[in-house]
Structure 1
Amino acid sequence: MTQIVKEVASEAEFSAVIDCLWDSYYNPYTPFMNILFPVFSATEEGYAAAVSDSKARLWSYHKGDPTSHWIYVTDNSGKVFSGAHWNFHEVSPYVNGVPKLKETWHPEGQGQEFATHILNQVYGFRGKRMWRPHAQLDMMFTYPAQRRKGYGSLLMKWGMDIAERMGVEVLVEASDQGIHLYKKFGFRTIDKVAVDSLIDNPSNTWRRYESDLKDLMFWWMWKPHGGIYEEGKTDLPWVAKLHE
């Protein structure tokens, strides 16, 4: 059957897409999952509870955010092969500055403080640059058995077509696995970012989380509307803003 991209329209579809997200990010394991969706008990029950919590939380965010679009690849059977989350901002959420976040899904304590510390770095880095209308690929994932079948390109084209019609620049924070695909769609690396988790007198809990994120890096990739970034030639709008 021909594979197509569909946008999530029901909570049942959404649940199936998030199942794909979990299987993808656990094969191989992506340490950032423990920041976003912590598993508090190393049992099948603990894992199931974390999946259930993530579905409720992400569905709530999605329903309350008009910029949020969850999409997936299927063959009309309804089965999910691959999925992605895009945001399309007609007005930048950072136009009035970068809000300070407090993570709430860890219990009070050093785990919550660590997650808050890391998330504010990621969002702070993004917010200082994306002060104009823009599109962002937030997540992309594929069931391990369905990889290398072109599904990522289908999900990318869906979002890039919308960004082109909007006339906006596009951002993705890439892992090393995704860089090649994003380059095919005209993205270029602007910065390589290493997360800083160092504090004075860390507790053992902090050290455990820090160890899980050891050597975590991501590549901040950007595509201006109507072209491709060329170092020394393409104007970087956030640099110009600093000098206004």
Structure 2
Amino acid sequence: MSFQLGEVDLDKDFGEVIRCLWEAHEEPFQPLYRLYCPTFDEDREASIKESTERFLEWHRHDPQSRWLKVTDTSTGKIVGGAWYKIYSENPFLHEEDEVAYWYPDDSTRDYVTQAIEQMDRPRKEKATNPQVFLNILCTHPDYRRKGIGAMLLEWGLEVAKDKNVEFWLNSTPVGKPLYERYGFEVVERNTLVPRTDHPDDNWKKIEKEMEDVVFWTMYMPRKERN
């Protein structure tokens, strides 16, 4: 079995990459990705379509954005993907506060907006230099432990080395061993704890879905190429 790393063809590949992202985070279930990939009205297919269109729109309007894929050369199936952002300056210099507009305009949106702010806080405080940021990395459940995550990660490490910049990421428990193996340092262990004085049923529902979420902000210092 052999695999090929390449950039995503937006017209041909993007939907398959986002479907791979969904399947990777559903097995085992990783609630952190639900912040950006919610399921609406228990309609999984419509929800995948919505997130595909939204991620594509974000990519087209962000010159820092790069999407990669890993393909099984024997079948043509996309079995892994990564979303990178490559910054030549402080990534938060011109960034406005993000509102989770893709959620309904109720307390659910408030919860997710707070959660994203809490997730971004360590980088806003400490990751203010030019950098490579790994936003998403996923491997299809049927193709784990075959080096696919390493292929996607090594691409970013090479870019960071070529540009002589830092490398930052947020890791779930599933991804943390891979990043530690490559020498990433834990900057901060984080939990999501949005607050409200008046939790309604919508708030309580998503709060339960997101309970016990933990992630690690991790960092690789600059490494100049010899």
Question: Among 200, 207, 223, which residue is 1:203 paired with?
Answer: 200
Residue range with higher mean Cα deviation, 166-175 or 119-128? 119-128
Which amino acid in structure 1 is aligned with residue 23 of structure 2?
Answer: D
Unaligned 5+ runs, structure 1: 228-244
What is the alpha-carbon distance in structure 2 between the residues aligned to residue 130 and residue 33 of structure 1?
22
Q: Which residue in 2 is equivalent to 1:150?
A: 147
Task: Summarize deviations over 1:153-208 as a string: whole Å, max 9, x none.
Answer: 11111111011001000111111111111122220111101111232221121111
Residue range with higher mean Cα deviation, 119-128 or 62-71? 119-128
User: RMSD of aligned C-alpha atoms?
Assistant: 1.6
Identity of aligned residues (%): 28
Question: Among 83, 101, 106, which residue is 1:104 paired with?
Answer: 101
Q: Which residue in 2 is equivalent to 1:159?
A: 156
Unaligned 5+ runs, structure 2: none
1:53 aligned onto 2:64: no
What is the alpha-carbon distance in structure 2 between the residues aligned to residue 201 and residue 143 of structure 1?
39
Which amino acid in structure 1 is aligned with residue 32 of structure 2?
Answer: F
* Cα drift, residue 114 of structure 1: 1.1
What is the alpha-carbon distance in structure 2 between the residues aligned to residue 94 and residue 186 of structure 1?
25
Which amino acid in structure 1 is aligned with residue 83 of structure 2?
Answer: H
What is the alpha-carbon distance in structure 1 between the residues aligned to residue 205 and residue 122 of structure 2?
24
Q: 1:115 to 1:4 in 2, by over 3 A?
A: same
Q: Give the ranges of 4+ consecutive aligned residues of structure 1 lying more than 3 Å apart after TM superposition.
A: 75-78
* Cα drift, residue 27 of structure 1: 0.9
Which amino acid in structure 2 is aligned with residue 145 of structure 1?
Answer: D
Aligned length: 223
* Cα drift, residue 33 of structure 1: 3.2
Task: Summarize deviations over 1:197-243 as a string: whole Å, max 9, x none.
Answer: 2322211211111111111111111110129xxxxxxxxxxxxxxxx
Task: Summarize deviations over 1:119-172 as a string: whole Å, max 9, x none.
Answer: 122223322222110011111111111001111111111111011001000111
Structure-to-structure mapping, 1:85-100, within 5 angstroms:
85-95=83-93, 99-100=96-97
Task: Summarize deviations over 1:72-104 as a string: whole Å, max 9, x none.
Answer: 1114453211111111111222135x6322111
Q: Which residue in 2 is equivalent to 1:41?
A: 41
What is the alpha-carbon distance in structure 2 between the residues aligned to residue 31 and residue 158 of structure 1?
26
1:189 aligned onto 2:180: no
What is the alpha-carbon distance in structure 2 between the residues aligned to residue 72 and residue 37 of structure 1?
19
What is the alpha-carbon distance in structure 2 between the residues aligned to residue 48 and residue 116 of structure 1?
24
* Cα drift, residue 25 of structure 1: 0.8
Which amino acid in structure 2 is aligned with residue 32 of structure 1?
Answer: L
TM (norm. structure 1) is: 0.86
What is the alpha-carbon distance in structure 1 between the residues aligned to residue 69 and residue 56 of structure 2?
15
Residue range with higher mean Cα deviation, 18-27 or 6-15? 6-15
